[in-house]
Structures are given as structure tokens and as C-alpha cells.
Structure 1
Amino acid sequence: MKKCLMALAVLGCAGGAGAQVAGTGAGEVTSSSVTLFGVVDLAVAYGHGSENNLSRLVSGANTVSRLGFRGVEDLGGGLGAGFWLESGLNVDDGTGSGSNTNNQPSGATSSGALTFGRRATASLMGTWGEIRLGRDYVATFRNRDQTDPFTTNGVGASLPYAISIIGVTETRASNMIGYFLPAAALGGFFGEAQYYMGENTSGSDGNGWQARLGYANKVWGVAGAYGLTKYAQTATTGDNKAWNIGGHWNFGWANLMAGWFEDEVERTSTLKGTGYILGAVIPIRVDQLKISYSSYKTDDVGDPRTQKLAVGYVYNLSKRTAAYGTYAHVQNHGSAAVGLNGSLTGPGKNSDGFDLGLKHSF
């Protein structure tokens, strides 16, 4: 058990190192399998703002609660076919999380029934890489996620993700055709390209493309990404553009990570947002100390700008079960009024919050 826990700590510390390679193709297939997997994560969450406070039970403050099925079939000669169906769960109330059918606000589905909104893909893969069809993460999200010690979850989630001006396709897109470079054939280089469709009878709302290219080895890695989703131009909407770059360096005693993010909505009066994150995951025996400092601002009226400091600790009870706690503090400037964990705070006022939770993976 002790050896398993030590291995878990090493893998967790490599969250930036190994994670930077996430999003590569599956590569050569030599066996067939079907797997049931999931995470059940619940936390007591508290938020304090200048106008009100809120206490509640939340799902997925450390790792998103989920239920999934994945499988691969060996077709011979290194060629394989695979599927991945993954549903988000709101474990605090027993409902399933929502999805989006057309990459537009009109396609949002409410939470309640079980949907495979986190991922629903079919793949063909081999030594040449992977072709993936369906609903999946967009390329620009991977840098938001993999440079954040808190993996964009809970009260500690980085501001370039939590308050980004990019809309429906900030995290995932539906109706996607994607290609991924092979996982282990290019000497550490990895990449992906995606095209997705809004599937309208006329117009291009919800159509878009994204790409990411990077390099990683056992010590350091870096990746850059760009994405465009098209929408009709109005006073509040327009084409969404995002580009970012993220990197990590694993010193052994700590895995440091950083990212820079630029977002743009080409409405009749273009809105731009920029942000960054500096973070670290520090192994303490079999546990993890997580620290991040992030910032995000836009050129909207009132010059809104927010900074966040987040500190968390993950106590691994076994290789599948962990208790955790996270504290975060935000400073708002100008017209910014970001409140943590559902609290309300006034423009230019501060907010605090914490999560105390338990996670079990299977």
C-alpha cells in the first residue's frame, strides 16, 4: 500500500509534466478492452462577499464527479477502434450535468438526466495517430486546465478559466472532427487539430476550429494553442478567438507551471481579455500541496481586473481516496465584482472562500 501511495504522489506531482502531453493520439493498439470508470467528489463550500455569504454542498471541487465507459478493439496490424462515453454528475443532488448540442447558447441542455456531455467520441487509431469524432475538449482548453494546479475545479480554479469571456466553446465542442499526433512516435512533440460544426441550415454560428502544438519530456514541456468559433456580430456577440501558451518544469521537489491567455469577442465593439497563472504542485510524502496565483482583466467599461491566490492540500488516504481542503482569496479592481463559491461582492471589493471535501475514484 505504501508503494502504491508513493507512486500516486509522483503521478500527482507530474500533473503538469504528464498532463502537458494529454491530448495526443492513442498510437498503436495491441489489445482489446472495455473499462468502467468514475469519480465521486463532494465538498462543503463556503463563500464570503461584501454583500452576502453562501454555504452549500457541491460536487467536484477537486475532480469533476463523473461516470464513464471507454473501450478499444484491436483490429490487427497496430490499427484499433475505440469509444469514450463520459457523463458529468452532480453528486450533491444526484442529477447529471448538462451539455450543448450545437456550440451555441440555443443548444444548451439543462442538468437533470444523464448525458454524456463531458465526452462522447468514436476513434480510429494507429501508429499514425488518432482520428476522433464527437464531443470533446477543445484544444485551447488544455492549456487552461494543465497549467492550473487545481485543474480548473473548485474555489481554487484559475481566473483565466473561471471568468474567461470566451463562451460556449471555452471547454468543449460538439460535432467535432479531430486529428491527434501519435503519442510516442515524435520524440516528445505532440499536437491536435479540430474542426466543429454548429449544424445550422444557414449561417455559421457555432462553427469553428482549434489547434495545439507542443513538446514535453520528463522534466519540462511547453504548448501553444489557438481557436476560433464563429458567431453573428451584434452588440453582445461575435466571433470568439482564443490563443494561449502554457508550460511546466518538474524540479522533483516541485512541479512549477505557468500560462498566458488572450481572449477576444469580435462584437460591434471588440472586447478583449488577458490573463495569466503561476502555480506549483509540491509533493509532501504521499500528499500534495497546491499553490496558484492568477489574474484576468478585460478592456470593458470600468477596467475590470481580478487577482486570485489559492492554496490547497490533498491528503491521500489510499491510491483511490483523498480528503482535501482549498482556500482562495480574490481582489477585485475597477468594476470587477467576482465572488467566490456563489457569494456576492460589490465592484472593487474582495471575496474569500474554501472547499473541504472527499474524493473517491474507481
Structure 2
Amino acid sequence: MRRATLATFAWGALCAAGMASAQTSAVQSSGGGSSVTVFGIADVTLGHGSGSIASQSQLYSGGNTSSRLGFRGVEDLGGGMAAGFWLEAGLDIDDGSTGSTNINNQSNGSVGGFNFNRRATVSLMDFWGEMRLGRDFTAHYRNRTDVDPFGNNGAGTSQPQAGSIGGPTSTRASNIVAYFLPPNLGGFFGEVQYYFGENGSPSPIEDDGTGYSGRVGYANGPFAIALAAGRTKFAHTATNGDIDSANIGASWDFKVVKVMGGYYRDKVDKLGELTGTGYLVGAIVPFGFDQIKVSWSTYGTDAAGDPTARKWAFGYVYNFSKRTAVYATYARVSNSGGSTTALNGSLTDANRSSNGYDLGMKLVF
């Protein structure tokens, strides 16, 4: 009985915090008190964007769900304790390449080649929760993806995600030491993280890429709400400085429609401080086995003119099965205050609009 409870808890902890890959099917091998799972998603999209300067058509990966290949496992250590690992690489299905990763959370630290850029962690789990170390989502990112009907993918990606000034740790960070609350607290959940920039000392940039992030929330029945905040340190210059991010996200599932919304704020403490503010409201409507998606989002900064982009997005997902789906998304972004945001690789003049659409297919394995 105890081992069954442990197995349930261990997999719950490994798949917690809104990881999309928790919904994938898997090929498993197991022996004794351990198991290993291979999982992935192959998603390819025909996208088009139009703007006042230039339009573009392209085949790209991840219009509905980010393509990936991963391996995860858990081992029963006895006495109610378990250990786990999670290795997950991003894939670009259009050309067969893999995504880049960020070295030590630096803005100039991107490297390519095959790597587990999406997640690379080891964990130790018990009744007290989970300790997780490695590369992972930052806690303050999760509120952007959890309440976006489009999951921060494709032309429908929310403007607080697409336009964020949150820097290299806006989505993920390397060298994380994290703690997650156990999943049996009556709906309450939370996590805290500290991550290292790992620069030499003494140095003017010794703290660059070092930071912390945290999230606390409540999810029970149809309602969920979470608050998150984080800070990443950078040297104070004309173009860079400490980055503070804070947000709140909430959702309510009425069965016939799931509504969601979020508020986001980022601040860069450079010479001439810059602040970005964004909002999102959205909905997912189940239509048989399929989904209709809609969202409105906006993000702008207090730079000269207050450049701001506002986006409407509409989407439909047709599920052939639990593993295979086709989808279509249309989005339109309007600019003001000098903003030049454009969709799907197109270019547009300041204060002009841009349109984009995606037609794609995904397979889960």
C-alpha cells in the first residue's frame, strides 16, 4: 500500500506545475522499484504573417504544442522516498534540428546542437515535497503559460509572452535549486527557486544571471489562482540591469467554457528604468472532443511613446484521437505608441497592424 502511494506521489511530483508533456503517452520499461518513460510531441505548422512592410510564409515547429523528445524516470528508494530524473529536448520538426539552450542565464550564452534545453533535472521526493535541481521553467513563467488558451505557442501566443522584457530567465533558468510543496495540501501548491549565474569572482558581472523565483497558488475543483514573482541580477548599465517580474493568473472551468486571465509586470533596473505591463483574458470552449480557443492580450512598456501591442487570437483544434490533432489559428495584432510587433516573421511599420495564421498537425507519442 505504501509503495502504491509513493508511486502515485512520485509521478505526480514529477509531472506537476503544468508541464504539457505530462499529457503525453509513453513507452515504458521498468524493473524492481524503478521505471523509465520515453515521451514526445511532433508538431509542425504552416504559418503565414502579413505586415505593411513584408509578408512571410514558413513551415515551423510548435504552432499548437512545443515539439519535444524526453526521458523521465523514478526509483523507489524505500521508506517513503523516491528519486527521479527528467531530460527533455526541444525539436524543430520542419528541419530536424533541436532548440538552443542558455548557458548560465546570460543574454549572450545561447548555444545550439542537441541538448536538453527544455528541462534537465534530478529530484528527491518524500512526504515533505520535492527537491529539484537542474534546468527548468522559472516559477514566474508558469502563470503565463497556465492561463494562455494557446499555451504560449504559435501565432496565438499571448503578448505578455511574445513581448516580454523579462530577459534570459523569462521562461527558463539553468543551475536551479528548487523546492516544491507536496501535492496533498487541500489544493494549495507552491515552489521556490534559486539559480546561479556561475560567473567568476571577483568580477563586475559576477552576479549576472543569479536570481530567485517563487510561486504560490490554490487549485481545487473548477477554480485556480496563483501569484508569482522573481528577480534576476545583472550589472547596472545603459542597456541592462536587475530584472523583476511579477504576475497573477486565474481560471474557472464552467464545463461549457473555461475562462482565464492574467496580469503581468516586468521591470529592468537599467540606466533609464524600463517597465513592461501586460494583460490577458481568454477562453477554451469544448466542442465535442475538439476545442475552440479565443484570447485578447496586450503588452507595452513605458519607453518613449508608450509602445503597446494588442492581440486578438482565435483557434480551433480538431482531435482525431487522444494522440493526433489538426488545428487552425488566426491572430491580429494592433500597434500604438511606435510599436512594430508583427506575426509569423512578417514586418510592419510603427503603429500599423499585422495578421497571421497557422495550419498545423501534432502527434503525441
How high is the TM-score relative to the length of structure 1? 0.91
Task: Assess if the C-alpha contact under 8 Å between 2:35 and 2:73 holds in 1.
Answer: yes
Q: What is residue 309 of structure 1 aligned with on the other side?
A: 312
In 1, the alpha carbon distance for the partners of 2:287 and 2:56 equals 32
Q: Which has the higher contact order (CA 8 A, sep 6+)?
A: 1
Amino acid corresponding to residue 80 of structure 2 in structure 1? G
Amino acid corresponding to residue 218 of structure 2 in structure 1? Y
In 2, the alpha carbon distance for the partners of 1:325 and 1:106 equals 35
Q: Is the aligned partner of 1:218 residue 2:218? A: no
In 2, the alpha carbon distance for the partners of 1:21 and 1:344 equals 35
C-alpha deviation, 1:77, in angstroms: 2.1
Q: What is residue 150 of structure 1 aligned with on the other side?
A: 150
> Which residue of the other structure, out of 296, 299, 317, is the alignment partner of 2:299?
296
Q: What is residue 246 of structure 1 aligned with on the other side?
A: 249
C-alpha deviation, 1:84, in angstroms: 0.2
Q: What is residue 360 of structure 1 aligned with on the other side?
A: 363
Q: What is residue 196 of structure 2 aligned with on the other side?
A: 197
Task: Assess if the C-alpha contact under 8 Å between 2:17 and 2:142 holds in 1.
Answer: no
C-alpha deviation, 1:21, in angstroms: 5.3
Amino acid corresponding to residue 104 of structure 1 in structure 2? Q
Q: What is residue 105 of structure 1 aligned with on the other side?
A: 107
C-alpha deviation, 1:126, in angstroms: 1.2
In 2, the alpha carbon distance for the partners of 1:105 and 1:304 equals 23
- Match of 1:145, SS state, is helix
Q: Is the aligned partner of 1:162 residue 2:165? A: no
- Superposed CA deviations along residues 200-221 of structure 1, whole A, max 9, x for unmatched, are 1122000000000000111101
C-alpha deviation, 1:247, in angstroms: 0.3
C-alpha deviation, 1:172, in angstroms: 0.3
Q: What is residue 342 of structure 2 aligned with on the other side?
A: 339
In 2, the alpha carbon distance for the partners of 1:145 and 1:89 equals 19
Q: What is residue 44 of structure 2 aligned with on the other side?
A: 42
Count of aligned residue pairs for this structure pair: 336
How high is the TM-score relative to the length of structure 2? 0.90
- Superposed CA deviations along residues 274-317 of structure 1, whole A, max 9, x for unmatched, are 00100101100000000000001100122101110000000001
Which runs of structure 2 are paired with 1:220-239 in the superposition (5 Å)? 220-239=223-242
Which runs of structure 2 are paired with 1:39-78 in the superposition (5 Å)? 39-78=41-80
- Match of 1:144, SS state, is helix
Q: Is the aligned partner of 1:22 residue 2:22? A: no
C-alpha deviation, 1:334, in angstroms: 1.3
Q: Which runs of 5+ in 2 are unaligned?
A: 1-14, 23-31
- Match of 2:111, SS state, is coil
> Aligned in 2, Cα 1:193/1:225: closer, same or farther, shift over 3 Å?
same
- Superposed CA deviations along residues 98-123 of structure 1, whole A, max 9, x for unmatched, are 0011100232113xx21101000000
C-alpha deviation, 1:273, in angstroms: 0.4
In 2, the alpha carbon distance for the partners of 1:74 and 1:264 equals 43
In 1, the alpha carbon distance for the partners of 2:268 and 2:133 equals 27
Task: Assess if the C-alpha contact under 8 Å between 2:297 and 2:310 holds in 1.
Answer: yes
- Superposed CA deviations along residues 28-77 of structure 1, whole A, max 9, x for unmatched, are xx953110000000010000000010001010110001000000001112
> Aligned in 2, Cα 1:299/1:20: closer, same or farther, shift over 3 Å?
farther
In 2, the alpha carbon distance for the partners of 1:274 and 1:281 equals 24
Q: What is residue 83 of structure 2 aligned with on the other side?
A: 81
In 2, the alpha carbon distance for the partners of 1:20 and 1:103 equals 23
Which runs of structure 2 are paired with 1:108-147 in the superposition (5 Å)? 108-110=110-112, 113-147=113-147
Q: Is the aligned partner of 1:350 residue 2:346? A: no
Task: Assess if the C-alpha contact under 8 Å between 2:261 and 2:281 holds in 1.
Answer: yes
> Aligned in 2, Cα 1:160/1:20: closer, same or farther, shift over 3 Å?
farther
Q: Which runs of 5+ in 1 are unaligned?
A: 1-18
In 1, the alpha carbon distance for the partners of 2:279 and 2:233 equals 25
> Aligned in 2, Cα 1:252/1:20: closer, same or farther, shift over 3 Å?
farther
In 2, the alpha carbon distance for the partners of 1:22 and 1:57 equals 27
In 1, the alpha carbon distance for the partners of 2:34 and 2:285 equals 36
C-alpha deviation, 1:328, in angstroms: 0.1
C-alpha deviation, 1:331, in angstroms: 0.5
Task: Assess if the C-alpha contact under 8 Å between 1:20 and 1:221 holds in 2.
Answer: no
- Superposed CA deviations along residues 120-143 of structure 1, whole A, max 9, x for unmatched, are 000000111000000000001000
Amino acid corresponding to residue 198 of structure 2 in structure 1? E
> Aligned in 2, Cα 1:125/1:359: closer, same or farther, shift over 3 Å?
same
**Identity rate, percent:** 54
Task: Assess if the C-alpha contact under 8 Å between 1:287 and 1:313 holds in 2.
Answer: yes
- Match of 1:341, SS state, is coil
- Match of 1:116, SS state, is coil
In 2, the alpha carbon distance for the partners of 1:20 and 1:354 equals 31
C-alpha deviation, 1:22, in angstroms: 3.1
